[in-house]
Structure 1
């Protein structure tokens, strides 16, 4: 019964998050919030709401492993999505068409921010302020800096996927109402996902780190899969990469929110040491992504595909280790 509820909650989260993305797009198009930065934050918030609600519920039931594992696991699963879709559409050689100057800042920021998390997990005595780890303050400062950098460099902003004609016919009032409704659904389903995930780990003997960083993270990241597939089908490869990299940075900011709600201590101090492997995997995956966008020569065949294969294999190995 617990497994059934877990799967049902995952399905509902995916469906509701896709709808949030759809109606969030309409709101950003038809309201005064249509600026590129605010619109981007709205869509990012919509697709990342499952991660937030799931992690906050995990904090409420005092399971920091699921809370942190969900955020870090979602980031590595997002990169797995990008590599897997690229491998599926390998004949298009999509990564050859990415512009280094567009993607490099997000990748480097992701490497640095995740490295802060790695250090905080390893350094047990990392200082905390108001029970929030020092690394979280660094994440916020770094994220603000990245936003300012993108704001001052319009060329680096990825092109948004325009809604279908049917979407354009939706009124602003209906879009706002439906957005709120599906946000509530995501909140409820995400809470069930955390509670059943915690129970699943308890009755099955599975590590909470595995449940959070693999099972729940995969469930809450499926909306990103839809976004990437749509972008690839539209041959908008910059959008595909940008949405994943941007979502990963946003998820790290949600980790800050999660730490703020976890009042016992800095949340990374309460996580299982095995969480370090998920964080390190995120760093390694992004280093591979940095190589992909930085390589000068256009590749083909196996020489093109091997970085995506490496990312997929690294994820499979990590999943086995945490299990």
Structure 2
């Protein structure tokens, strides 16, 4: 779409600014709709807001898979999941009243973290299992879809009838519906859909601009997918998460990241379906496993933070945020050296 460096850079900047503006408004509407529909912040974050912010990843990954570029496809979606978790560590810096994982503790978020770890292990298992020559789609792809749908039901049940409750402290911010709203419910839905469309389109433009920049600089598919396009297509998650924190919707902020990563596993399944040469898991470079393993490690660290609920850490940042950002930085070094 962009054949030279200057147009790509200009388009990248304009798209990023548009996403910042639209994403901020999108987070406020998501918080309002979560209350007015009775879905709650956790379920709304994983089902609707996560689906909207994941669409740029979906477009980029499926396009690369159909073009028979497995490394670009898988590094983009796997790299996006790692950078999303790093974004949650960055978001912790914006919430100064306490550690984000302390304030946003909920049984639904714990379930989401566990579900994400389960989903992340499935494509890694597919990589080490023998390829089935007569099957165009790997059986693990079907398991990913089934596990995601079953996981959504578990999250819903956990939210409706929780068997575990976080200890309420002064810093805890529960999901409390607002009693008064401006405008009708239908107007809110229309605004949400319109902003979602803007976010999706600008996210796709951002991805195309990033690819144009990468092509002009001669970077490999592994580096382009894992770093540049992964970061570009994940910008909506960063913006909506920080905006949700500013509006006080902490559960929505955390569930948006978890939900986006869980939804991205459906993107992995779509990549395998769209790949024209059999199973995509067996055609990508071994370095792609790095992002999957790193995402599992970062999710496990975050899960420990949600259970431990440290009130304040060094610089008022939780130990889990510091560890996640450190792990992500090391992963970037590994991918740059390997790619």
- TM-score of the superposed pair, with normalisation by structure 1: 0.80
How big is the shift at 1:106?
1.1
Question: How far apart in 2 are the matches of 1:119 and 1:4?
Answer: 41
Q: Which segment is superposed worse, 7-16 or 263-272?
A: 7-16
Alpha-carbon contact 1:24-1:46 (below 8 Å) kept: no
Give distance in 1, aligned partners of 2:320 and 2:149: 30
Q: 2:57 aligns with which of 51, 54, 59?
A: 51
Shift of 1:301: 3.5
Correspondence list, 1:5-44, <5 A: 5-12=11-18, 34=37, 36=39, 41-44=47-50
Residues 17 and 49 (structure 1 numbering): CA distance in 2 closer, same or farther, change over 3 Å? farther
**Partner of residue 90, structure 2:** 84
Tell me the SS of whatever aligns to 1:272. Answer: coil
How do 1:239-250 residues align onto structure 2 when only pairs under 5 Å count?
239-250=252-263
Are the counterparts in 2 of residues 231 and 237 from structure 1 also a CA contact under 8 Å? yes
In structure 2, the partner of 1:203 is: 216
CA shift, 1:107, in A, is 0.9
Q: Quick check: 1:140 aligned with 2:145?
A: yes
Coordinate RMSD, CA, aligned: 3.6
**Equivalent residue for 2:333, pick from 306, 316, 320:** 320
Conserved? CA contact 1:111–1:286, under 8 Å = yes
Q: Do 1:50 and 1:187's aligned partners in 2 also have CA atoms closer than 8 Å?
A: yes
CA gap of 1:195–1:288, structure 2 versus 1, over 3 A, is: same
Q: Give the Cα separation in 2 of the matches to 1:87 and 1:271.
A: 35
| 8 Å Cα contact 1:58-1:195 kept in structure 2 | no
Q: 1:224 to 1:304 in 2, by over 3 A?
A: closer
Structure having the higher helix fraction is: 1
Aligned to 1:300: 312
Cα gap change, 1:187 to 1:287, in 2 (>3 Å):
closer
Tell me, yes or no, if structure 1 residue 62 matches structure 2 residue 68: yes
Equivalence map 1:170-319=2 (5 Å) = 172=186, 176=190, 188-295=201-308, 298-302=310-314, 305-319=318-332
1:320 to 1:246, Cα distance in 2 relative to 1, 3 A: same
State the partner residue of 1:102.
Answer: 108
Contact 2:210 2:232 in 1 (8 A): no
Unmatched 5+ stretches in structure 2: 1-5, 163-173
SS in 1 for 2:318: helix
Q: Is the 8 A contact 2:26 2:195 kept in 1?
A: yes
Tell me how far apart the structure 2 counterparts of residues 275 and 289 of structure 1 sit (CA, whole Å): 22
Between the aligned partners of 1:215 and 1:164, the Cα distance in structure 2 is 42
Closer, same or farther in 2 for the Cα pair 1:263/1:191, shift >3 Å? farther
Q: 1:212 to 1:313 in 2, by over 3 A?
A: same
User: How far apart are 1:133 and its partner, in Å?
Assistant: 2.3
Q: Who is 2:3 aligned against? A: none
Q: Which runs of 5+ in 1 are unaligned?
A: none
Query: Which is further off, 39-48 or 254-263?
Result: 39-48
The two structures have a TM-score, normalised by structure 2, of 0.76
- Count how many residue pairs are aligned between Structure 1 and Structure 2: 315
CA distance in 2, matches of 1:231, 1:54: 25
Question: Is 1:120–1:268's contact at 8 Å kept on the other side of the alignment?
Answer: yes
